Amino acid sequence: MKQNFRIPAAIIACLMLVVVIFLYREHANKESNDAPRERSANVAEPAQLPATHQTNIEVKDKNLAPGLLPASGSTPLTEYASSASLKAFFDKYKDAPTNSTERYLAEIAFQRCAYVGIVGPDKYLRSSLAKLERSQASDEERRLYRNATDRFVARCKDFHGAMSGEQLKERNAQLLRFPALEAQADQLAERIRTTGINGFRADADKLLITNNPLVMVSLSAAWEEAIRRDRGEFSGRLFSDLPADVAAAAWRLAACEMGWECGTENELVVEACLTAGQCNAASLNDLYQKYLFSPERYNQITKARDGILFGLRTKNYDQLRK
């Protein structure tokens, strides 16, 4: 979409908050000034994995990740991805145990729909589409953006009147203290950002054994921060010559192969469309290839993705964290 396409700043700010759980990058540092995040000093030893972590993860490409992924079927991830109403998903799982994927995703649904829930679907649509009407976007770009906006609002509209800004900050702070495996990975990324990479390898190993795609998404932020902190920790191995953002993208594409929803409803795909007008992407892989990385960088991403999946399958974690 043309460079002069702009989305209202309030919408951009809120959408950035939505993806802070998945993507602790530079904008996560800005959020930390607004809502204090209490982190444990060390990542706890993961308990026996719940059944939702052990079974029914859909394999996207069996040639990439053989042996990692059990039989296909309904999972919290697929239910979340296919929910017509994220409020209904939230209501179903908002009281689930805090160490479960269901509860983690319920809180993500609350975060993701924050702006629509607080200002209301009508105001959201008016404010997000007003700039589009004055832009120089092509008819096809307008159609794609409008379709993405309509889908997003449809999934979030039931939150209207059911949340406030204070509730959002409170639930976000609580989520980042959950014992869920996904939250432990978030804590590791934050700890590397704030205190350094001491203990990174041992803590990462405890999470790598889970083969949980949402954990892999959060670990993408941990690897990005670790590479930025100390490139020497990764010398001579899979990530030795990769920019931090390329390594993070490789982890996310590996998570896609392990069952993370990476089609048009992927949080990062939706965010790119609604905040940057990058709407002509059918998947996260497509977004990276078309908009965010050069052909050379994209080839590095896919090569690293394959290395990650091989390391996970063979439990060669040394390849992944050195």
In a domain? residue 229? yes
Question: What pLDDT was estimated at residue 20?
Answer: 38
Q: Give yes or no for residue 36 having a pLDDT over 50.
A: no
Place 64 in a pLDDT band, splitting at 50, 70 and 90.
low
The least confident of 18-27, 139-148, 247-256 is: 18-27
Spatial CA neighbour of 158 closest among 103, 90, 255: 90
In a domain? residue 3? no
At 279-302, the pLDDT tens digits run 999 999 999 999 999 999 999 999
In a domain? residue 48? no
At 98-145, the pLDDT tens digits run 999 999 999 999 999 999 999 999 999 998 888 777 777 788 888 999
Question: What pLDDT was estimated at residue 123?
Answer: 93
Question: What pLDDT was estimated at residue 18?
Answer: 42
Spatial CA neighbour of 187 closest among 210, 207, 212: 207
Range of the domain at 135: 9-32+56-321
Place 199 in a pLDDT band, splitting at 50, 70 and 90.
confident
φ/ψ (deg, to 5) at 277: 70, 15
- The secondary structure of residue 278, as a DSSP letter, is -
Q: Give yes or no for residue 6 having a pLDDT over 50.
A: no
φ/ψ (deg, to 5) at 34: -95, -35
pTM beyond 0.85: the answer is no
* Distance from the Cα of residue 137 to its chain's centroid: 28
In a domain? residue 41? no
Count of alpha carbons within 13 angstroms of residue 120, beta-carbon side: 4
CA 5, CA 7: separation in Å to the nearest integer? 7
In a domain? residue 220? yes
Q: Give yes or no for residue 257 having a pLDDT over 50.
A: yes
In a domain? residue 2? no
Q: Give yes or no for residue 305 having a pLDDT over 90.
A: yes
Question: Exposed (0-12), middle (13-18) or buried (19+): which is 77, by Cβ within 10 Å?
Answer: buried
Higher pLDDT, 321 or 225: 225
Place 236 in a pLDDT band, splitting at 50, 70 and 90.
low
Q: Give yes or no for residue 175 having a pLDDT over 60.
A: yes
Mean pLDDT, residues 185-211: 85
Question: What pLDDT was estimated at residue 69?
Answer: 52
Q: Give yes or no for residue 92 having a pLDDT over 90.
A: yes
Tokens of 147: 């379709």
Q: Give yes or no for residue 39 having a pLDDT over 60.
A: no
Using an 8 Å Cβ cutoff, are 288 and 298 in contact?
A: yes
In a domain? residue 42? no
Question: What pLDDT was estimated at residue 287?
Answer: 96
Question: What pLDDT was estimated at residue 32?
Answer: 36
Mean pLDDT, residues 155-172: 92
Question: What pLDDT was estimated at residue 4?
Answer: 43
Total number of domains constituting the chain: 1
Using an 8 Å Cβ cutoff, are 151 and 163 in contact?
A: no
Mean pLDDT, residues 218-223: 88
Give percent of the chain with pLDDT exceeding 70: 75
Using an 8 Å Cβ cutoff, are 20 and 37 in contact?
A: no
Mean pLDDT, residues 182-190: 89
In a domain? residue 126? yes
Using an 8 Å Cβ cutoff, are 224 and 258 in contact?
A: no
